């Protein structure tokens, strides 16, 4: 993946956000509730809340969510909740998210080469 390292995620951004969420958590003595299982469960509950924003709506209505102030705020809030739980999970599990994301992009590039995957929604096993 040419250019990935130059355009890669900034580790400092994740480190700063992780430090902020740790500080928030610790100020409230919530670490005691943050087992890996509980964090993973909470992330999935937040993902379900994001999904709930689209329930019973057409594709056009979902695409319009960012243009409506209250819906855009809800979308931002749910995305932020998901990110914050993901940071706590990665912190608890010792995962460097920037490195993991780069490695996953490289794996995906191998599974989905441009010449086979361009414009296709097929899973890598069906690309031929």
Split into its structural domains, the chain has a count of 1
CATH classification of the domain holding 19? 1.10.287.1080
What pLDDT sits at residue 1?
Answer: 38
| pTM (two decimals) | 0.85
Domain that holds residue 68: 12-110
Q: Are 88 and 38 in contact (CB under 8 A)?
A: no
Q: Which residues of the chain have pLDDT under 50?
A: 1-7, 9
Is 36 within the bounds of a domain? Answer: yes
What pLDDT sits at residue 85?
Answer: 98
What pLDDT sits at residue 54?
Answer: 97
* Cβ-based burial of 126 (10 A; exposed 0-12, middle 13-18, buried ≥19): exposed
């Amino acid at each position: 993946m040419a250019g990935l390292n130059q355009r890669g995620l900034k580790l400092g951004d994740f480190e700063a956000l992780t430090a902020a969420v740790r500080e928030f958590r610790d100020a409230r003595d919530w670490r005691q509730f943050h087992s890996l299982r509980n964090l993973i469960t909470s992330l999935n509950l937040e993902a379900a809340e994001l999904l709930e924003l689209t329930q019973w709506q057409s594709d056009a209505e979902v695409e319009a969510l960012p243009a409506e102030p209250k819906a855009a705020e809800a979308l931002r809030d749910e995305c932020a909740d998901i990110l914050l739980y993901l940071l706590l999970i990665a912190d608890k599990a010792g995962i460097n998210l920037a490195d993991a994301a780069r490695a996953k992009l490289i794996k995906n590039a191998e599974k989905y080469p441009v010449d086979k995957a361009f414009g296709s929604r097929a899973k890598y096993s069906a690309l031929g």
